[in-house]
Amino acid sequence: MNFRPSVFCYESDAWIFDLDGTLVDSHHAIKKHLVDVFEDFGLPPYSEIETRKLLGSSLEKIIANLGVFGEIKEQVISEFRIRLNNSLAESHPIFPGAILLLGNLKKKGAKIAVATNKPTEIAERVVSETQLGSYVDVVIGSTDNPPKPDPYILIKCIELLDSRRPLMVGDSEEDRIAAVELGIGFVGINSSNSFSKRIATDREAYFKSINEILKSLF
């Protein structure tokens, strides 16, 4: 993999960030709550590798890909969201370098959005109840919107930010596909090895962490 910033990183007037695995390190909490809920419902356990591959997808897709369907799927989703809501702040620690990166981008005049497959109301709480709330202009989640890789959430962010040169920052293939479909720049964070075989191009840049983006650009 080639880790380097591309020209589009410096020219973008709006940065659209994924949330989980990009700005906040919620993967451990998500996996823990999933394990606990599956155990409480008497569902078969799943491997660490299985969940690592699925994180970044919508919760509905994660649960279905773990082999849970029908009425029990809806019950599992409901219980999972209750538990996540009850531990929102501690479940979503901000990645090192994220706040400094957002602050530097704002100083340069960039607008900031969050585009996530989380339900909008939960994403808004995560942003407002952490330091992210001081920097993020727009939060769009999957409530009443098709989740990524459908680019609709990104389109809404771009419209609300009135951006002409947006880019997307994310840690999953869903994020990359949504950006590519729109023809906008993409910055991939390889925190879960989603992009180990990807090579940087004039429209795609890849980094090991959000802290690496900060060090490379500022």
Provide the percentage of residues in the chain whose pLDDT is more than 90: 56
Q: Which domains does the chain have, with CATH numbers?
A: 7-25+93-217 (3.40.50.1000), 27-91 (1.10.150)
**Residues sharing a CB contact under 8 Å with residue 96, sequence separation 6 or more, in sequence order:** 209, 210, 211
pLDDT of 2 above 60 = no
Residue 89: which pLDDT band, with cuts at 50, 70 and 90? low
Q: What is the pLDDT of residues 15-61, one digit of tens each?
A: 999 999 899 988 778 888 888 999 999 998 876 656 666 666 678 88
Question: Are the CB atoms for 145 and 152 separated by under 8 Å?
Answer: yes
* Overall average pLDDT of the 81-85 stretch: 84
∠ CA 185-91-32, nearest 5°, is 105
- Among 19-28, 31-40, 80-89, 176-185, the range with the most confident prediction by mean pLDDT is 176-185
Say what the pLDDT of residue 56 is.
62
Q: Locate tokens 């394990």: which residue?
A: 35
Q: What is the pLDDT of residues 98-121, one digit of tens each?
A: 999 999 999 999 999 999 998 899
Q: In DSSP terms, which residues pair with 3 in a beta bridge?
A: 206
Q: Among 122, 140, 142, 139, which Cα is nearest to 60's?
A: 142
pLDDT of 205 above 70 = yes
